[in-house]
Amino acid sequence: MATTLTSTSGFSDLVQELVSARAAEELRARAVHAMPGLYVPARFIKGTNTLRYARYADLGVNTTALSEGSPPVDQALTISSEFFTATQYGATVAISDLANIDSPHDLISIAAERVAYQAVRSMDVIVRDNIHSTALTSAVFGATASGTLTQNAANSAVATAGVLNGTFVKQIVARLKGANVPQFADGTYRAIIHPSQEYDLISDTAVNGWIESRKYVNNTDLLTGEIGMFAGVRFIVSSDAKVYTTAGASAGNVYAALFLGPDSYAIGDSQTLQSYFVAPGGDHTDPLAQKALLGYKMRFGSLLLDEAGARYRVVKTQATVGV
């Protein structure tokens, strides 16, 4: 009688597919910073560890009248090219043969889910930190007093009373429009905020016109973590939004809300997320077939695109309900 074993041909492939499927599911459900549609893909330069994104600046306003019979002066396109490097990340989980035998749970399946979650959340947090570590000072605003946003305010100057509200949102939208930052195809901007900022925003009685995502019309497809729309901004909530712990006034936490238009940052990979499963005895380091290994590997990078002008604004606030 034939028996299906972990060493059976194809078993490793099935587990790898399980990890990959879990990772794809987690990517859709949790990765807000690495969400397709929020970023632009960078082009990998073959033979290097470099990813590059090219942007063409808009032509300036022309107020010079034509002279009869004379052609205008030719213009040249202004091309900006920004590049960054990819970094490899990966991790494994080991399960012993005895643990797999004695456990009342399917440890392989549980490990596959945990590995996938770790891979996707790690990618999202790495992208988030890249965004906030390189943010232009001219695009960062701190709530130094209630109702007031100060450009390039230090975290320590972010006031306890400076929480995210409708006035701040309207101010940032005005700044984005004033800087000619384009909107997404649906005519809105996007914002990634922390749940603590969500509480303050939806508790603001002055936020007239707030639309909960469940009340959208025209069958609008919801973004990952989307909670609603206000002042032309669709809000995405994530517990992984950037937080500077105890960095604000009176040692309060500072929460960084990211408001953005399209083409704000780029993500690229030279090695897409790959999953792995090594059955017990699958290599020379396990001669007695005592453990199974599950893991992932990926190589990617990200960058804020500032060369042709920032298409984002960061609003740093404190919050009534801290983490």
**Helices of type H across 192-306:** 195-203
Query: Which pLDDT tens digit goes with each residue over 142-186?
Result: 998 877 899 999 999 999 999 999 999 999 999 999 999 999 999
Burial 241-278 (b: 16+ CB within 10 A, else e): bbbbeebbbeebbbbbbbbbbbbbbbbbbbeebbbbbb
Tokens of 11: 């078993």
The Cα–Cα gap between 220 and 228 comes to: 11
Q: Which CATH architecture has domain 11-56+79-131+265-304?
A: 2-Layer Sandwich (3.30)
Structure confidence by residue, pLDDT tens digits, 78-129: 887 788 888 999 999 898 988 888 888 888 888 888 888 888 889 999 999 9
The answer to whether the CB of 148 falls within 8 A of the CB of 237 is no
**Tokens encoding 35:** 């969400």
Dmax over CA atoms of the chain, in Å, equals: 95
Query: What amino acid is encoded at 155 in this protein?
Result: N
Q: What is the CA radius of gyration of the chain?
A: 24
Domain 11-56+79-131+265-304 and domain 139-264+309-317, same fold? Reply is no
Q: Cβ(291)–Cβ(94) under 8 Å?
A: yes
Q: What is the pTM of this model?
A: 0.84
What ranges do the domains of the chain cover?
11-56+79-131+265-304, 139-264+309-317
pLDDT tens digit string along 174-228?
999 999 999 999 999 999 999 999 999 999 877 677 888 777 777 778 888 899 9
CATH number 2.60.40 is the correct assignment for the domain at 139-264+309-317: no
C-alpha 200/C-alpha 192 separation (Å) is: 14
